[in-house]
Amino acid sequence: MNQFKTVALLGLLSGLLVAIGYGIGGSGGALIGLIIAAVTNLFSWYSSDKIALAAYRAQPLSPQQAPELYAMVERLCQRADLPMPRLFVVPSPGANAFATGRDPNHAAVAVTQGIVNLLPADELEAVIAHELSHIRNRDTLTQAVAATVAGGISYLAQMLQFGLMFGGMSRDRQGGNPIGMLLTIVLAPLAATVIQMAISRTREFEADAGAARLTGNPRALARALQRLEAGARQMPMQANPSFEPLLIINPFSGQFLSNLFATHPSTEARIQNLLKLEQDMGVGQLG
């Protein structure tokens, strides 16, 4: 179901891009929108890992520096039938982690120093399994596509705005209603952001489930999420908001608008899903 939701949301996002392109220049404008999406997606696909790691000042981590962490990741990769990703450490006391890379053969997992210090071994293993599930599901590519298409929509909306301001648009052609164009300028980027955040939340639920199946211990991830949310409220990571969807936890309040624009589902909802999965798996209560 989550896979279907993701495909549907990506389709809706792409349709929005084509529609606003059509609003600018008819069929030619729609083609421009598709070209913008293709170029930005290609760049994001190829460079997403370098950009994300640089944004968090992540440093390569060698097996000699973290032998236990390397052994943990290797063990999980064997279970998941994944190649070993590159490991990085983020020099931050905030507790968090993320995965990046265009495909499983070019993937990287980064953990903060704070999360290594905070979590016991079983909970850290669950977090790593969550990130590996993102890699196996190619969520890093999905997020890159969603982000760049949303960015293309914002760019085209700005083009439409300038066209109306400076008279560059043909107001008498079909589809050239000025009121409709003004609504497009305001609502299209907003809708794109809402859809992008919905995709991110869907992928988080799927990665949680993947981690639970990989470790056989859903409750370990549930406990980790509780600790990480409490820690993030006290000591949030400072970085470019564009990369917030990559992080395993990014707490928001329970208000509707906050949830609408949140990059992650609520921690309560994620924990409830994990506990339900624990029952479905027949795993005993772990306290």
- Tell me if 6 sits within 8 A of 203, measured CB to CB: yes
Q: What is the pLDDT of residue 2?
A: 43
List C-alpha distances in Å: 31 to 15, 94, 113, 164, 189. 12, 44, 46, 20, 19
Average pLDDT over residues 135-158: 70
Q: Tell me the pLDDT of the chain averaged across its residues.
A: 77
Q: Which residues are catalytic?
A: 131
Both tokens assigned to 30: 């729609």
Output the pTM of the full model. Answer: 0.73
Q: Among 212, 192, 214, 186, which residue's Cα sits nearest to residue 270?
A: 212
Residue 79 pLDDT > 70, yes or no? yes
Do 239 and 92 contact (CB within 8 A), yes or no? no
pLDDT for 45 = 65
How much is the average pLDDT of 71-79? 97
Residue range 193-219, pLDDT digits in tens: 666 677 777 889 999 999 999 999 999
Over residues 277-287, the mean pLDDT reads 72
Six token digits for residue 277: 């999965």
Which residues lie across from 60 on neighbouring strands?
88
Domain range list for the chain: 2-281
In tens, the pLDDT along 8-58 reads 555 666 666 666 665 555 556 556 666 766 676 666 667 778 888 988 899
Model pLDDT, residue 141: 67
Asked whether residue 232 carries a pLDDT value surpassing 70, the answer given is yes
CB 100 within 8 A of CB 110: yes
pLDDT at 160: 63
Q: Lowest-confidence range among 4-8, 189-193, 231-235?
A: 4-8
pLDDT of residue 172: 44
